[in-house]
Amino acid sequence: MAYITDTDALGNAIKAERRRQNITQVELAALSGVGVRFLRELEKGKPGCQIGRAISVMSALGIKLDVITRES
């Protein structure tokens, strides 16, 4: 899967994984402890979404984030 260079890519990745797991937005929102509306905006790539909540969602999905520097 490609690198995340913007919020659209992040939203798409989250949405794809959610659908792969056959979970609805309502269910994932509940699992993550965020509002459904937040999850929708996150999946749509809204840049203003808060990082902490986004990480909660990814954790609930079992997604891991890797930071790659030139030296890593």
Partner DNA sequence: CCATATTAATCCCGAGAGGGATTATTTTAT
Partner DNA sequence: ATAAAATAATCCCTCTCGGGATTAATATGG
| Contact yes or no for 53/43 (Cβ under 8 A) | no
Binding to DNA by residue 50, rule CB under 7 A?
Answer: yes
Binding to a copy of itself by residue 54, rule CB under 8 A?
Answer: yes
Provide, rounded to whole angstroms, the least separation between the CB of residue 30 and a copy of itself: 19
Q: In this chain, which of 19, 37, 44, 50 binds a copy of itself, going by CB under 8 A?
A: 50
End-to-end CA distance of the chain: 19
Contact of residue 34 among a copy of itself, DNA, none (CB under 5-8 Å per partner type): DNA
Q: How far apart are CA 28 and CA 22, in angstroms?
A: 10
Whose structure tokens read 């979404």?
Answer: 49
